[in-house]
Amino acid sequence: MKIIMLGAPGAGKGTQAKMIAEKYSIPHVSTGDIFRANIKNETPLGMEAKKYMDEGKLVPDELTVQILLDRVAKEDCANGYVLDGFPRTIPQAEVLNDALEKMGDKIDYAIDVAVPDENIVNRMSGRRACVTCGATYHIVHIPPKVENVCDKCGSNLILRDDDKPETVLNRLKIYHEQTQPLIEYYTAKGVLKTVDGTKDMKDVFADIVSILG
């Protein structure tokens, strides 16, 4: 079972990807993690990617797909995997599709965790992070025992720049321009399934399980 997770930043697709991986005993493959692992282990692909990253450039789609295919060729991916953070654009999806086709393979499901923009802005602007230990909270859903104080270490909690409404709106704009077209792409392939990401996390997961069977 090969699955791609789609959804805007803050929609909760990473959390759902981890839960799917655990339930179905398949790896949660995050492109960020693969890049870090390849660079840390100084693999040829990792060193190639690092050149671009050191210059502040985006890693080319072909190289990203190579690194991804190298990961999914490992033994633990024999029964499938959940892709999180890739593809982000139509060209990336096409490169991935062509590469999988050559291997006689394909994506089985593209799951879109759909959440309206205003919900995402409210959700992310309510996040708070500890300046010392990195623990995360939410002022509505997971509030600390004492306002703006970390339960674990007693340090101050802050609203990260990434979670400020203006930053979130900018990220959503990029998402709609670049990533939203993937919904049409995977609909045309007949593999797109949409779940309502505004529901409780457990209910979203239950909906995904009913799709995957």
Cite the active site residues.
13, 88, 127, 160, 171
**Contacts with 97 (C-beta within 8 Å, 6 or more apart), sequence order:** 106, 107, 189
**Do 47 and 35 contact (CB within 8 A), yes or no?**
no
Helices 44-54/61-72 angle, 10° precision: 150
Concatenating the DSSP letter of every residue in 122-164 gives HHHHTEEEETTT--EEETTTB--SBTTB-TTT-PBEE--GGGS
